[in-house]
Amino acid sequence: MKRQRPGQPAPGPGPRGWSGWGRGASTYVQAPDEWRATTVQACGLWPFAAGAGTPMTGVPLGRNLLSGATLCCDPISWFQRANLISNPSAFVLGKPGLGKSTVVRRMALGLAGYGVLPMVLGDLKPDYVDLVESIGGQVIRLGRGRGHLNVLDPGEATAAAARLTGDARAQVLADAHGRRHAIVSALVTVMRGAPPTDREETVLDRALKVLDDTHDAARRGAPTLHHLLEVLRAAPEDVRAAALDRGDRSRYDEVTEDLEATLIGLTGGGRLGRIFAEPTTTPMLRDRPVVFDVSSIDDAQSDLQAAVLLACWSAGFGAISVAHALADAGLEPRRHHFVVLDELWRALRAGRGMVDRVDALTRLNRQRGVGMAMVSHTMSDLLALPTEEDRMKARGFVERSGMVICGGLPAAEMPMLTSAVPMTRAEQDLLVGWQDPPAWNPGTGTEAEPPGRGRFLVKVGGRPGIPVHVALTGVERQLNDTNKLWHELSRSADDPAFPSTGSTADGPVRG
Ligand SMILES: Nc1ncnc2c1ncn2[C@@H]1O[C@H](COP(=O)(O)OP(=O)(O)OP(=O)(O)O)[C@@H](O)[C@H]1O
Ligand SMILES: [Mg+2]
């Protein structure tokens, strides 16, 4: 083959056309314009049309950062309609303030439009209250002196069981029992920082059964932790057998002493207040979006926050379970729910064995029709748990999620993250770049927007991630305003209709 000598013209055109004098090579190639259109409109432009490559099923989330194409994505649609994921759940990870709750809120709003009921089981900020209120949902306020959630209240399970027969009835009752047992064990775990012993678990289980059999709910209302404590102290035969007291009352007292002390703490206004031991103030409705507003609980009370989150999950999942049983029996229309578990790490950190409790409380017999979004900060939050067993299980939450949505994360996270979700080098670099601090604008003396705000990588199994930017609509921006109090303050300072207290000679202005 003849080799081309230097200076000799190339045998064919180069990437920018024929090179050489009078041959028309272009030094600057303009990018062609691109338009997006539906296949119905764009089909006539064959062969210039190219598929977008991002799924168009689900809630419109934002634009693909690489192609500009719209990305539609939510766990329920991707599971049910698009068959893209193996179970309808999403795990959202990212550094604080980059918009994790905002993206979940977008999904909740979009899904509400599809007829799915958003259920926010514990809003600590509050991030979701305005949204749920604006779509006509129910806001349940919990906190010291604000509202109680009786963890032993079977809710609508008893009423539902009365409408059911046979196996379905037995299943609803068993599920309600299991859930109440799980939440009492979880509260004991939070109180002690360690799980109850096996024997205590059995004692609790029996005591709850005895309480159900002997408590006259029609006359005394739903049983509370006070009643459970009464049963434990009364030492009925069944409970004594579970405590293995071998007929010796003093041995029984010895075995149940710790449990009694913990229950006294839960009912007597100890560290966890009496939120869980008094009759429920606002019963939850099954046919409307719901948010539990627990924002009145201070971040410093981390135990109480964890306990309240657990109680909300128990109540929420219990209600969903009842709704499913009734729908299965054809007694109610089938409803789909989108459950939001924000700030998951707060609950996991509350003590040894917490991961198991969370697992037990958020388990449903049938995942059908229930989408879930779990939100946490980083993998190291999940992996900072005291025992290896807990750490493995916490990693399992991420591994088992249908999709993982990652925002900006520090480089130190990557080995942990990639052990749960496979990521290429380029994907990892993208996430690390998004957590960079915002630029400082010396002109205005303010910070620019953080580079990673609203930017997420949607990962499904080993597939390449889809980078997306979530842009807020005007309506969302109002609903989203987490700095509302500050804005109100600055508005009132500017507005003559709201003179500041100090500026009037007549003292404070009211009304
Ligand atoms: N896509 C976006 N465009 C513009 N602003 C956004 C966007 N996403 C979030 N924000 C704003 O950023 C702030 C923090 O958002 P958000 O509360 O959703 O973050 P987060 O990741 O959930 O934080 P945390 O980890 O503290 O809960 C809010 O004021 C919100 O309005
Ligand atoms: Mg948040």
Residue for token digits 């609903």?
479
Distances 149 to 97, 161, 209, 268, 469 between C-alpha atoms, Å? 30, 21, 20, 15, 38
Protein residue with its CA nearest to atom 13 in ligand 1: 97
- The model carries a pTM of 0.84
Q: Bigger pLDDT: 379 or 271?
A: 379
Name residue, tokens 């979700």: 421
- For 44, the enclosing helix (H) or strand (E) is none
Token reading at 374:
């779990």
Annotated domain spans of the chain = 52-149+286-496, 163-279
Per-residue pLDDT, 247:
86
CA distances from 213 to 74, 169, 174, 175, 210 (A): 43, 16, 13, 16, 5
Task: Please spell the DSSP secondary structure of 215-247, one letter per residue.
Answer: --HHHH-S--HHHHHHHHHH--HHHHHHTT-TT
Spatial distance between the Cα atoms of 49 and 52, rounded to a whole number of angstroms: 9
Cα 266 to Cα 260: distance, rounded to the nearest angstrom: 10
- pLDDT score for 68: 84
* Cα–Cα dist 22/201, whole Å: 90
Measured in Å, residue 403 CA sits from the centre of ligand 2 at 18
Per-residue confidence (pLDDT) for residue 366, from 0 to 100? 55
Residue 110: name the closest of 149, 147, 73 by CA: 73
According to the model, what pLDDT value does residue 368 have?
A: 64
Tell how far the Cα of 480 is from the centroid of ligand 1, in angstroms: 8
Upstream peptide bond of 126 is cis (omega within 30 degrees of 0)? yes
- Atom 10 of ligand 1: nearest residue by CA position: 99
- What pLDDT, on a 0 to 100 scale, did the predictor assign at position 487? 59
Between the alpha carbon of residue 183 and those of residues 307, 308, 455, the distances in Å are: 9, 10, 36
Other Cβ atoms within 10 Å of 260 Cβ, number: 14
What single-letter amino acid sits at 188? Answer: V
Give the residue whose CA is nearest to atom 23 of ligand 1. Answer: 97
- The Å distance, Cα 162 to ligand 1 centre, comes to 45
Residue from 101, 123, 378, 447 whose mutation best tests the ligand 1 pocket (most atoms within 8 A of CB): 101
Show the ligand 1 pocket: residues with CB < 6 angstroms: 94, 96-102, 127, 377, 453-454, 470, 472, 480, 482
Q: Is the peptide bond before 437 cis (omega within 30 degrees of 0)?
A: no
Is 52-149+286-496 a domain of CATH 3.40.50.300?
yes
The answer to whether the CB of 468 falls within 8 A of the CB of 455 is yes
Q: What is the pLDDT of residues 51-70, one digit of tens each?
A: 767 788 999 999 999 888 88
User: H or E segment at 63?
Assistant: strand 60-64
Q: What is the pLDDT of residues 90-123, one digit of tens each?
A: 999 999 989 999 999 999 999 999 999 999 998 9
Tell me which of 166-180, 434-448, 477-491 is least confident: 477-491
Q: 377 CA distance to ligand 2 centroid (A)? A: 9
Q: Give the chain's mean pLDDT.
A: 85
* Pocket test residue of 71, 125, 449, 453 for ligand 1, highest count of atoms within 8 A of CB: 453
pLDDT above 80 for 132: yes
* Minimum CA distance residue for ligand 1 atom 24: 96
Query: pLDDT grade, residue 235 (50/70/90)?
Result: very high
Which residue type does 274 have? Answer: R
**Residues forming beta bridges with residue 296, ordered by sequence position:** none
Reported as a single tens digit per residue, the pLDDT across 317-356 is 889 989 989 999 999 999 999 999 998 888 887 777 778 8
Specify which residues 441 forms β-bridges with.
446
Give 440-482 pLDDT, tens digit per residue.
877 877 878 888 999 999 999 888 999 999 999 988 888 766 6
In eight-state DSSP terms, residue 143 is: B
- Say if residue 509's pLDDT is above 60: no
CA Rg, the chain, in Å? 29
In 3-state terms, the chain is what percent helix, strand and coil (to 5)? 45, 10, 45
Cα-to-centroid distance, 100 and ligand 2 (Å): 6
* Rounded Cα gap, residues 421 and 463, in angstroms: 10
Q: Whose structure tokens read 């009842």? A: 322
pLDDT attached to residue 510: 33
CB atoms within 10 A of CB 458: 22
Pick the residue whose CA is nearest to atom 14 on ligand 1: 97
Residue 98 CA, closest ligand 1 atom number: 21
Helix (H, G, I), strand (E, B) or coil at 357: helix
- What average pLDDT does the segment 231-247 reach? 91
Share of the chain above pLDDT 70, in %: 90
119, β-bridge pairs = 290, 339
